[in-house]
């Protein structure tokens, strides 16, 4: 399997994870009426969510590509 194919699959998996994260975050914040006292608190929460999502994207991408390479040899 070529390097370009693996990179494309990794990026598409990451984009799918991030799109899912954005949708879930939007509905969670909307339905639970989360209020922020200041913009600094909002940016702090957004930063933590971004860090966790980045870790999730990298972890799922590595696991998915590893499973793909294992199954296709």
- pLDDT tens across 3-29, in order? 787 788 778 877 887 788 888 778 877
Residue with tokens 């940016």: 43
- The number of residues making up the chain comes to 73
- If DSSP codes are grouped into helix, strand and coil, which group holds residue 70? helix
CA distance 43 to 26: 15
Largest CA distance in the chain: 53
Long-range contacts, stretch 25-30, CB < 8 angstroms, 24+ apart: 25/49
pLDDT of residue 61 exceeding 80, the answer is no
Query: pTM of the full predicted structure?
Result: 0.58
């Amino acid at each position: 399997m070529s390097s370009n194919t693996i990179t494309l699959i990794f990026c598409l998996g990451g984009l799918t994870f991030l799109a899912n994260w954005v949708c879930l975050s939007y509905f969670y914040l909307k339905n639970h009426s989360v209020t922020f006292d200041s913009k600094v608190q909002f940016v702090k929460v957004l930063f933590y969510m971004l860090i966790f999502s980045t870790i999730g994207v990298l972890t799922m991408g590595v696991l998915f590509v590893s499973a793909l390479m294992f199954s296709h040899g």
